[in-house]
Amino acid sequence: MGVGQEGDVIAAALDVFVDSLQFIVDERDLLLEKTLEHIVLSGAALLVSIAIAVPLGLALGHLHRGSFVAVNVANVGRALPTLVVIAVGFIFLGIGFTTVMLALVVLAVPPILTNAYVAVDEVDRDAVEAARGMGMTPSQVLWRVELPLALPLLFVGIRTAAVFVVATATIAAIAGGSGLGEILVNQAAYDVEGLVGAAICVSLLALAADAALGVLQRSLTPAGLKEELPAFEPDVRPVV
Amino acid sequence: MAEPVIPDFGEASDCVAENRLFCTDWVRENWDPVLQPALVEHIKLTVIAVGLGFVLSLVAALLAHRFRHVERPVAFLSAVIYTIPSLALFQLLVPVTGLTVTTVEIALVGYTLLILFRNNLAGLRSTPPEVLEAARGMGLTSNQTLWRVELPLALPAIVAGLRIAVVSTIALATVAAFVVSEGLGGPILGALRLDFRTEIIAAGALAVGLAILADALLVLAQRAVTPWASARRVT
């Protein structure tokens, strides 16, 4: 008992991890196919969410209107469990790609919208005044001053949503979503090695999505703001 | 002649048999055996996860407050954990801790760390320099300053972090059902596999309602412990 048993548990766990790496190697074609499906599903959901939430957030932030809605939508979004959103989508729309995608959009819009709003709303008023004083039209102020200055925070929202969508797309498998979730929710077919192997792939995909968006963020950020960005940004702003 | 042995599953009402959107009779009958235990388990999962996460993150924040170089590694580690998908993290832990509540709790605690650490630290650092100066001028030791000045002033940020952690843990705990049949995720997942609408909606509404109620209670708690903030409240 005691130490010996703990050693056994650790040895058994190591075995599973070795087996799951073997699973990744053996089933690389399957995993590649599921990963691509995962990317298509998450990408589609993220693009739709961005198309809805970014313009709305920018517009509200630019006009400094609707702060109550824009800020609280994220709180409401947090209170909605993914499983519940997917299950309710399943009730009304049945099984399929559209159901899952819409459920993901419902979950991804709040963080993007709130951050887009706050990003533009919090842009230094003096900078906006100066731009106006230089004779810029309201739309020039938005595109040339507010948007560039809002980019870092805007991307915080998009990156949060992206990680969230990649993660949640796994749960979507129970409502007919494709992708790596199909392996993760199907222990009967893939055994523990398959589950752990797929879990490793999903985790890497989430980290990769965050990193890729980080690179995009860097390339879009104006040179003057760049020094402020560390390589890996574990968003240290307090959430209040 | 002996009666044929037919298991008694009770009478399904028309509503349940037709799988209509919401059957109040099913909810009434299954509140005690199904919904209420799941709700209690869900609350337990959340309280334990946020409780442990809070203690860990407060210790880490206090350390980072005193020794600056602690901040980056803790922030980095908690951000990496936060990035791992919940279902994946649950499954990754299964080989180590098995299909148990421990597996679920480890993952749930892990997810609270980023938000709680960040807010605790921001709160501790929010004391204005002139207040610290005044505390020192009054002869308070650094321990006294921490307990009597910095921690009380950090409360609004700490409670704000707790609100987010509690609400997201309640939402996240539904996913635990994939690993162990605990909490409201169990009925939701089971009903989803059977395509039984009433149970999905009832258990789902309980999860959302619980999150909203918990958030409201924490707002009240926040007002109670920081009476000075009501003059200029930041939500």
The ipTM value here is 0.78
Tokens 């104006």 found at: A222
Tally of helices (H runs) and strands (E runs) in chain A: 11, 0
Chain centroid offset of residue B220 CA: 17
Specify the pLDDT at position A218: 85
Checking if the pLDDT of A42 tops 90, the result is yes
Specify the pLDDT at position A122: 84
Query: Which segment, A5-14, A34-43, B92-101, is predicted with the most confidence on average?
Result: A34-43
CB pair distance less than 8 Å for A199 and B201: no
CB pair distance less than 8 Å for B85 and A235: no
Specify the pLDDT at position A50: 96
Q: Tell me which residue in B92, B191, B215 faces A199 most closely, judged by beta carbons.
A: B92
CA torsion sign for A39, A45, A48, A54 is negative
Specify the pLDDT at position B192: 84
Beta strands in B12-128 (DSSP E): none
Where helices occur in A27-146 by DSSP H, the ranges are 28-63, 67-79, 82-93, 97-121, 125-133, 138-140
Instruction: List the domains of chain B with CATH numbers.
Output: 29-227 (1.10.3720.10)
CB pair distance less than 8 Å for A239 and B119: yes
Specify the pLDDT at position B235: 46
Show the tokens assigned to B196.
Answer: 């039984």
Closest Cα in chain B to A68:
B235
CA angle A211, B62, B225 (to 5 degrees): 105
Checking if the pLDDT of B170 tops 90, the result is yes
Greater confidence (A110 vs A233) lies with A110
Put simply, the chain B residues between 125 and 154 with a CB less than 8 A from any chain A CB are none
Tokens 């960005």 found at: A229
Specify the pLDDT at position A55: 94
pLDDT, tens digit, 9 for 90 and up, residues B184-218: 999 998 888 888 888 889 999 999 999 999 999 99
Could you tell me if B201 lies within 8 Å of chain A, comparing CB atoms?
yes
* Residues sharing a CB contact under 8 Å with residue A129, sequence separation 6 or more, in sequence order: none
Mean pLDDT of B14-31: 80
Show the tokens assigned to B18.
Answer: 């037709």
Specify the pLDDT at position B230: 65
Residue B198 C-alpha, separation from nearest chain A C-alpha, in angstroms: 10
Q: Determine the angle formed by the axes of helices A28-63 and A147-171, rounding to 10 degrees.
A: 140
Checking if the pLDDT of B234 tops 60, the result is no
**pLDDT range class, residue A96, cuts 50, 70, 90:** confident
Contact B196, B19 (CB under 8 A): yes
Put simply, the chain A residues between 129 and 168 with a CB less than 8 A from any chain B CB are 163, 166-168
